[in-house]
Amino acid sequence: MSDILDQIVAVKRQEIAAAQQKSPIDAVRFDAESRGLTRDFVGAMRTKISAGHAAVIAEIKKASPSKGVLREDFIPADIAQSYAEGDGKINAACLSVLTDRQFFQGGADYLKQARASCGLPVLRKDFIVDAYQIYESRAMGADAILLIAACLDDAQLRDFEAVALGLDMAVLVEVHDADELERALRLRTPLIGVNNRNLRTFDVSVQTTIDLLPRIPSERMAVTESGIASQDDVKRLRAAGVHAFLVGEAFMRADEPGDALARLFR
């Protein structure tokens, strides 16, 4: 793990301990298991790809540790609606909502507001290090979670995936290199997210996804993350056989994020 990931994981463990004091895991699990049906996250992406379109997981993200606040006028419901509508022809397949408070200025309420404002499936984007957070994710309405291989050992990846699948949630497992990819492929999830950011240098290159793509079986779906900023990036990735994208920072400063999405994937 990088130093920043170590810091984030340490904060997460403190947050979980504090949350459990207020709401014990049995209560959160009961709430999660009482929720209605999830929206089909994987199905929404496959539908887009089957129609010849890019499957875009559009991110709702107020800030980042390196760039600070990305969008001052931050209204998750409006952003979600904009993504869902796009330009009338091109729109998002799913949403990703940052819920981390300390590093990304996110929150559970942002996810709730975004999901309530449109019909798209929603992924909770956070740093999952305990099963408690998975029950918490479903209780707040998430249809999918992110598991970051760099933060978790093999047993945790397997156990956390099982909890999520038991709640009818999809799992996007994120990898940065070939070793992490090998670990991710032992899981059941069809969604393999390739983060193009190097954890040691923090350089970003879409070549990371292209290099790892031959190692990803055809029955899995490669989702490229980070560094997709231009139509040339999109064309290069789609020419290589990548048709699923998680993008957010590129849209957050646009007046209409959905229009910016449509322009990028036109």
Task: Tell me which of 3.90.180.10, 3.30.465.10, 3.20.20.70, 3.30.70.2860 is the CATH number of domain 3-264.
Answer: 3.20.20.70
Confirm whether 174 is a catalytic residue: yes
Confidence of residue 170 (pLDDT cuts 50, 70, 90): very high
Distances, alpha carbon 222 to alpha carbons 169, 181, 241, 243, in Å: 18, 11, 9, 8
| Active-site entry in 91, 96, 117, 195 | 195
Mean pLDDT for 175-186 is 98
| Active-site entry in 12, 48, 61, 112 | 61
Confirm whether 249 is a catalytic residue: no
| Active-site entry in 117, 174, 180, 196 | 174
Q: What is the pLDDT of residue 68?
A: 94
Confirm whether 125 is a catalytic residue: yes
Confirm whether 61 is a catalytic residue: yes
Element housing 158 (H / E) = helix 154-166
Q: What is the pLDDT of residue 202?
A: 86
**How many other β-carbons are positioned within 10 Å of the β-carbon of residue 21?**
8
Side-chain half-sphere exposure of 172, counting CA atoms within 13 A = 31
Q: How far apart are CA 196 and CA 6, in angstroms?
A: 19
Of 208, 203, 266, 210, whose CA–CA distance to 240 is shortest?
210
Confirm whether 196 is a catalytic residue: no
Reported as a single tens digit per residue, the pLDDT across 41-89 is 999 999 999 999 999 999 999 999 888 999 999 999 999 999 999 999 9
Q: What is the pLDDT of residue 199?
A: 87
- What phi and psi values does residue 185 have, to the nearest 5 degrees? -70, -10
**How many other β-carbons are positioned within 10 Å of the β-carbon of residue 241?**
13
Percent of the chain with pLDDT strictly greater than 90: 94
Write down the pTM of the prediction. Answer: 0.97
Q: Are 80 and 120 in contact (CB under 8 A)?
A: yes
Beta-bridge partners for 147: 173
Q: In the chain, count H helices and then E strands.
A: 12, 10
Mean pLDDT for 80-109 is 97
Q: What is the pLDDT of residue 1?
A: 63
| Active-site entry in 125, 137, 161, 180 | 125
Q: How far apart are CA 14 and CA 66, in angstroms?
A: 22
Confirm whether 85 is a catalytic residue: no
Q: What is the pLDDT of residue 4?
A: 85
Confidence of residue 24 (pLDDT cuts 50, 70, 90): very high
Least confident of 64-68, 137-141, 151-155: 64-68
| Active-site entry in 96, 137, 196, 226 | 226
pLDDT at residue 38 greater than cutoff 70: yes
Q: How far apart are CA 27 and CA 20, in angstroms?
A: 10
Q: How far apart are CA 215 and CA 104, in angstroms?
A: 32
Q: What is the pLDDT of residue 248?
A: 85
Distances, alpha carbon 209 to alpha carbons 118, 125, 175, 217, in Å: 30, 20, 10, 14
Mean pLDDT for 252-257 is 94
Mean pLDDT for 123-152 is 98
Q: How far apart are CA 137 and CA 171, in angstroms?
A: 12
Confirm whether 96 is a catalytic residue: no
| Active-site entry in 15, 48, 59, 112 | 59
List the domain boundaries for the chain. 3-264
Q: How far apart are CA 51 and CA 88, in angstroms?
A: 15
